Structure 1
Amino acid sequence: MTPYIDGHCHLNSPELRGELDRHIDEARSAGVQRMLVVGTDLRTSEEAISISKGYFDSGIRASVGIHPHDASSVSSSLPEELTDLAKDPVVVAIGEIGLDYHYDYSPCKVQRDVMISQILWAEEADLPIVFHVREAFDDFFSILRDYPVDPERAVVHCFSGSLEEAKSCLDLGFYLGFGGMITFKKADGIRECLASCPIDRVILETDSPWLAPVPFRGKINSPLNMPLIYKAAAEVLKVRDSVMADAVWTNGVNFYRWENE
């Protein structure tokens, strides 16, 4: 069977980092052969790189960037110590970056400025972008009109927007990321978005340690739970489990440009 990917996880989080060997071994035993560890600020980006280097042969890769919650930790001019991280060969994406207006951890204008600076950084580094967008799609699309991202070079991870917003992302050529929320009882809207997404634009992820799928909702999530998410996605898209696995593996190889092995 084609192996699974976890297209977005936080093995650098306090909940998971203390037992990395166990979490990675369990995930690989469950068939998860690629895991993207995501940075949200300078420190966690450095940690993502460190984890990838330590577990490179276990399929761990890294992304680096400033999450919108942490946008206030930098100015619109990104520090060189951050941008230099993208030069490391284990880094396969810039992210997660974007806008989150659900909370006010960073002012909206600062979020927008830092998102723009990171789009330009990703272009210079020739890396795809992992976007985080929550309750901010109007401004997100407005920025992209002025600072376009090449088609097939971005994923909106943990997609939680409307069907119209999903279609707008797809019209831009973006991938959409889906995780444990597709198993939640009241997540019909997210399942509808997944159902509308061509299978060649789907990235599956845990976003661990958060958003564990049913029947583990409310517990610490880990890449071990990826098979549950794949099964749920296959049911939504009405395809065989093997078709789902093949498609997402191909999508991951194409998007992150990681080796197909």
Structure 2
Amino acid sequence: MWFDTHCHLDFPEFSSNSQAYRKLFSQHEILRFFVPSVGPENWQAVLQLKQRQSHQVGLGIHPCFLQPLIEKNILQQSLNDLRTLAVQNQTQLSAIGECGLDKRIDVPIATQLSAFHFQIELAEQLQLPLVIHSVHQHHNVYASLKMRSRDNLGVVHAFSGNYQQAKSLIDLGLKIGVGGVITWPTAQKTREAIAKIPLDCIVLETDAPDMRIFGGSQQPNSPHFLPKIFNQLVLLREESTSILADSIWKNSVSLFQR
């Protein structure tokens, strides 16, 4: 049985064909899902998914979705709305996120950091883990959280980096989200990192419908591909298949405790 710790099941790829996908999930024993939000436009849709017992959800503002809020001059209001909605629904939430930092986008890093720090504070207030998006920004994520170190601080999802970066994040109390990146032969530094980090900090994810696996078809990525990612992980690690599977399930349940 599998827990996809990061998938966007509210996105049209799934919501428009949910029955067929549910059948695939069942066939591949994908039993639990964590669904993050990306901004105000999908907060309510994500909260509605909580009605399914197998789904856990988070509220946040993804860095790549900041620009429209900035252009409309509503970023601060949106952050305030996020706090209000999260407090109102805190018993329904398993995390704050998706939030974080991304070097590829045009939003100034100072603005990204301000929005990220707001969500860090919110997670502290509600004692929830963070679901962190970090693209070429692991140093700034570390700097933002080094005074917040605690058990179950959260997860850096879709990790793509080297061992030293992974270890610094793990030392803060973060888990590492392992996804389709490790299926790509070109991702050698990340594959080497995932081979070496402690087993108790690894969780699996697809980031569906994004982050396609190597050799995948042109169809959207999906939680039912999670076993393919696990099969690659087995090739990288020294533990037995059964130990890996059991530990990753326990790690995932521990990360999202409610």
Question: What is the TM-score of this pair, normalised by structure 1?
Answer: 0.89
Alignment check: 8 A CA contact 1:78 1:117 kept = no
Q: Name the counterpart of 1:91.
A: 93
Q: Name the counterpart of 2:239.
A: 239
1:9 counterpart SS class? coil
Alignment-mate amino acid for residue 109 of structure 1: A
Alignment-mate amino acid for residue 17 of structure 1: S
1:239 counterpart SS class? coil
In the alignment, the residues of structure 2 paired with residue 202 and residue 217 of structure 1 have an alpha-carbon distance, to the nearest angstrom, of 26
Describe the superposition over 1:165-223 as per-residue Cα deviations: whole angstroms up to 9, x where unpaired: 11111111210001111111211111111112111100100000012223315531011
Q: Which of 50, 53, 70 is the matching residue for 2:48?
A: 50
Describe the superposition over 1:5-58 as per-residue Cα deviations: whole angstroms up to 9, x where unpaired: 0000011122222112222331122111111111010122221111222xx13x
Q: CA deviation at 1:79?
A: 4.1
Q: Name the counterpart of 1:125.
A: 126
Alignment of 1:196-211 (within 5 A): 196-211=196-211
Alignment check: 8 A CA contact 1:76 1:117 kept = no
Alignment check: 8 A CA contact 1:10 1:208 kept = yes
Q: Relative to structure 1, is the Cα distance of residues 84 and 24 closer, same or farther in structure 2, using a 3 angstrom cutoff?
A: farther
Q: Name the counterpart of 2:113.
A: 112
Q: Name the counterpart of 1:102.
A: 104
Alignment-mate amino acid for residue 177 of structure 1: G
In the alignment, the residues of structure 2 paired with residue 79 and residue 178 of structure 1 have an alpha-carbon distance, to the nearest angstrom, of 28
Q: Name the counterpart of 1:170.
A: 170
Alignment check: 8 A CA contact 1:76 1:113 kept = no
Q: Relative to structure 1, is the Cα distance of residues 192 and 217 closer, same or farther in structure 2, using a 3 angstrom cutoff?
A: farther
Alignment-mate amino acid for residue 212 of structure 1: R
Q: Which of 7, 10, 14 is the matching residue for 1:9?
A: 7
Q: Which runs of 4+ in 1 moved over 3 A?
A: 74-81
Gaps of 5+ in 1: none
Q: Name the counterpart of 1:254.
A: 254
Q: Relative to structure 1, is the Cα distance of residues 233 and 159 closer, same or farther in structure 2, using a 3 angstrom cutoff?
A: same
* Equivalent residues, number: 251
1:138 counterpart SS class? helix
1:123 counterpart SS class? helix
In the alignment, the residues of structure 1 paired with residue 76 and residue 142 of structure 2 have an alpha-carbon distance, to the nearest angstrom, of 19
Q: Is 1:26 the equivalent of 2:28? A: no
Alignment check: 8 A CA contact 1:62 1:90 kept = yes
In the alignment, the residues of structure 2 paired with residue 80 and residue 115 of structure 1 have an alpha-carbon distance, to the nearest angstrom, of 13
Question: What is the TM-score of this pair, normalised by structure 2?
Answer: 0.90
Alignment-mate amino acid for residue 185 of structure 1: P
Q: CA deviation at 1:112?
A: 0.3
Alignment check: 8 A CA contact 2:40 2:78 kept = no
Q: Relative to structure 1, is the Cα distance of residues 169 and 97 closer, same or farther in structure 2, using a 3 angstrom cutoff?
A: same
In the alignment, the residues of structure 2 paired with residue 195 and residue 242 of structure 1 have an alpha-carbon distance, to the nearest angstrom, of 16
Describe the superposition over 1:129-182 as per-residue Cα deviations: whole angstroms up to 9, x where unpaired: 01111111222222223x524232211000012221111111112100011111
Gaps of 5+ in 2: none
